[in-house]
Chains A and B, each alone.
Chain A
Amino acid sequence: MKTSKIIMIVAALLPLILFFLPMWTIQLSAPQYPDPLEMRIFITKIDGDLQSINLMNHYVGMKMIPETIPEFEFFPWIVGGMILLGVVIGLIGNRFLFLIWFWVSAILGCFGMYDFYKWEYDYGTSLNPKAAIKFMDEAGKLITYQPPLIGTQTILNFQATSLPAIGAYVLFLGMVLSIVAYWVGRYEAGHKFPPL
């Protein structure tokens, strides 16, 4: 089998890890929490110190982190579909299809990030009007508690750090490999210097 095909099949199989390992984590640390509270996002569930985070957040009127979200219904199908599609494309061995797989993955990835952002936005801004503690900003508006999409941000007494986890890195590696597969395929077809 051609090297490019093998690389493509490997690239397509890598996202399998998402079924076992988290793709994103949000950590909350504060003086009272020397061991940070952690929330781990999978494609099928959210776990971590959810009860403790909910307990903290209810003072300012944030919603409970739900045990399940609609995304858990279709995320596994999308990821599963992309794996299947990638493997089929790998077997066909058409390097242009490799590129298409990359772009579809990239678009879906962006969609996932957008969904995550929307979810964070809603979680951090739609607060219970009966909340026990209400903090205002300098303009006299209720402050919001939206965690950063990526990076670290101070929210009241907490340092909130949001970062991709192992699943996301492996997914990204799969996408890079699909490009590599394209290049290698091009090389195998006789092109000496694959364009960037």
Chain B
Amino acid sequence: MKKTIFSITAVAISTTMLISCGGAKKGGDSGGALSGKNAEKVYVAPGEYDEFYAFISGGFSGQLSVYGLPSGRLFKVIPVFSQDAEKAYGYNEETKPMLNTSYGFIPWDDAHHPDLSQTKGVIDGRWCFINGNNTPRIARIDLKTFETTEIIEIPNCAGNHSSSYVTDNTEYVIAGTRFSVPVPQKDMPISEYKGNFKGMLSFLKVDQETGEMDLSFQIMMPGFDYDKAHPGRGKSHGWFFFTTYNSEEAASLLEVNASQNDKDFIAAVNWKKAEEYIKEGKFKTMPAKYAHNIYDEGTQMATSTMEKDVKVLDPAECPGLVYFLPTPKSPHGCDVDPTGEYIVGSGKLSANVTAHSFTKMLDAIKNEKFSGEAYGIPIINFEDVLGGTVVQPGLGPLHTEFDNNGYGYTTFFISSEVVKWKVGTWEVVDRKPTYYSPGHLMIPGGNSQKPWGKYLLAMNKITKDRYLPTGPELCQSAQLYDITGEKMELLSDFPTIGEPHYAAGCPAELIQPNQQKIYKLEDNKHPYAAKSEKESRVERNGKDVHIYLTTIRSHFAPDNIEGVKVGDKVYFHVTNLEQDYDVPHGFAMIGANNSELLIMPGQTETLVWEPKQVGVWPFYCTDFCSALHQEMQGYIRVSPAGSSTALSWSLDGE
């Protein structure tokens, strides 16, 4: 106990010192030929393109942002788990079902780890997956449209943190629970945690054609915290690795009680074996309620289906399915090098970076070199699996990414630096400060078999004194390093949205050529679409009024609507008739308890408005669409409830 307090104090002191040092040092960095040269390295001239896309999670903003590298320019914020009033995501009738869960509509989540789809261990630019941490969910973003097209909820889980990572051929996306919970949930004393709470690891099969995910099976693990995960690569393809902490199974004051064991584990899961067990029927079907939401590009509408059960494997009954690899004290990061040989676990409370050897692991399993077992899961002898140790490279190692030249790069949260080390010899080659407290780092393709080792992006939690202050709330930041040389070089830093938790990156050429420019009107299967001005109309169905509205530069059709009454529920179904790249139209209605709509060419979106006051009320286009954008407006007349004003609509009096 005493020791813990001492170490916490030490950490606090060192953090403070490093921050003040960093501040003082900063002056020395600016100016001079060196930084001039670095400015050139990140300069992308007007009209030219960045070389890489970076998909940076927004952490507690629930979104995913798209940046260009090396410029650090922000291109788009893709709404995933949070409502976005700018794009009506989660506000319009089409996308509301995307945020449905077994708990009902949840308009927010904590988005952590984006990962790009791969083919043969190489990033292919088809989809981006990202996890929702709080209400366990995995989302899929289609990189043709940069839209969230699927969200699946993960049952029997809590704190969906060790996800979402994909296997070499995107066979599976995995989702591991950070918090263990009673499975199935029940009313029980928290003090009876040990032995009763369970941690679920979920495997979501991905359809190679559509990208659609299916919760294929779950593995019910002991009640540890499953923190981070990484699929095997190349030679270790077929395995998945998860770091654990709280192997003590504490339920209270974890900062102390989960920091007692000298070693926790990396859980090595043989998912090919799991597939066999599933085929053999060794699973238990458990009732489970979870939402599966899919956005259909044809109908342009999301549907939410509630699933009812899930197949669960118990590792104690499935020999060879899971092994524990002891790893020094509370490992956080779990990263596999591009060859698939080394599984790197950084003990955030240990000073060392530990690399397990996959070959040695297989050998130990074959020769049954076990030091014991936990809940029926064999524990491999630490010495028999250890591949190497980077000794004391810094304070608080977190995450490691790899380049294509056999080097690993690890972030150090407490000592605020990135350390470059050689895979195999474990010697430290270089270290560079970051400002400040980096969590993850990203090298484009750095978690795949083929990294593009040109840049390294460190994602930092603290930026005080780095930028103009903005009140108590300061931005977080990403810092770009050139890693083409023996020594790393800090090139630039740029602010990010929310918390830049983790990022995925790849060359722009993998994504750029496949971009969809418009939605074809003839493919629009939205049931409320009006595909020409002739089809625009207003229909009443009891108290529901459906307005089939069209937009084109620079008018709505119809633009005069009468016969709506107080107490009605008005559906504006707005179809953008444009078939021209980069010409969305917006739609905003005064007094709507809702957001605007932002409708892409060829798309239909629906806004619900419940008029509460008699009068004549305007609506207008919110996205500057043309020279006559300001004229793009219309009126809707609202009569008293029960009035006899006939339903009518017109454009230019016709």
A residues with a Cβ closer than 8 A to B are 35, 49, 51-52, 55, 59, 132-133
Contact = CB atoms under 8 A, between A and B. Distances in A.
B633 to A, nearest CB: 14
Grouping DSSP codes into helix (H, G, I), strand (E, B) and loop, the B interface class, with mixed when no group exceeds half, is loop
B628 A51 contact: no
Nearest to B628: A132
B380 to A, nearest CB: 59
| Most A-side CB within 10 Å, residue of B578, B579, B580, B626 | B580
Contacts of B628: 59, 132
Nearest to A133: B627
A158 to B, nearest CB: 14
Nearest to A49: B580
B627 A51 contact: no
B154 interface: no
A17 B578 CA distance: 32
A55 B555 CA distance: 11
B580 A55 contact: yes
Contacts, number: 20
B552 interface: yes
A55 B552 contact: yes
Interface in B79-120: none
B431 interface: no
Contact of A51 (B579, B581, B626): B579
Nearest to B580: A52
Interface string B610-635: 00000000000000001110000000
Contact of B627 (A35, A49, A52, A59): A59
A39 B627 CA distance: 23
B553 interface: yes
A133 B628 CA distance: 10
Contacts of B552: 55
Nearest to B582: A32
A51 B553 CA distance: 11
A59 B632 CA distance: 13
Contacts of A59: 626-628
A51 B581 CA distance: 12
Interface in B566-582: 577-581
Interface in B141-156: none
- Highest count of chain B CB atoms <10 Å: which of A35, A51, A55, A59: A55
Interface string B571-602: 00000011111000000000000000000000
6 contacts: A51-B579, A55-B552, A55-B578, A55-B626, A59-B627, A132-B627
Contacts of A52: 578-580
Interface string B543-556: 00000000011000
Interface string B392-409: 000000000000000000
B520 to A, nearest CB: 12
Contacts of B553: 55
Given A51-B579, A133-B627, 8 more contacts: A35-B581, A51-B578, A51-B580, A52-B579, A55-B552, A55-B553, A55-B578, A132-B627
Contacts of A51: 577-580
Contacts of B578: 51-52, 55
The 5 closest A-B pairs by CB, nearest first: A52-B580, A55-B553, A51-B579, A132-B628, A59-B627
Contacts of B579: 51-52
Contacts of A132: 627-628
Nearest to B47: A34
A52 B578 CA distance: 8
A133 B581 CA distance: 24
A26 to B, nearest CB: 17
A55 B552 CA distance: 8
A127 B354 CA distance: 77
Contacts of A133: 627
A5 B626 CA distance: 59
A35 B579 CA distance: 14
A59 B553 CA distance: 9
Contacts of B626: 55, 59
Nearest to B581: A35
A172 B552 CA distance: 41
Residue among A35, A49, A51, A133 with the highest chain B CB neighbour number at 10 A: A51
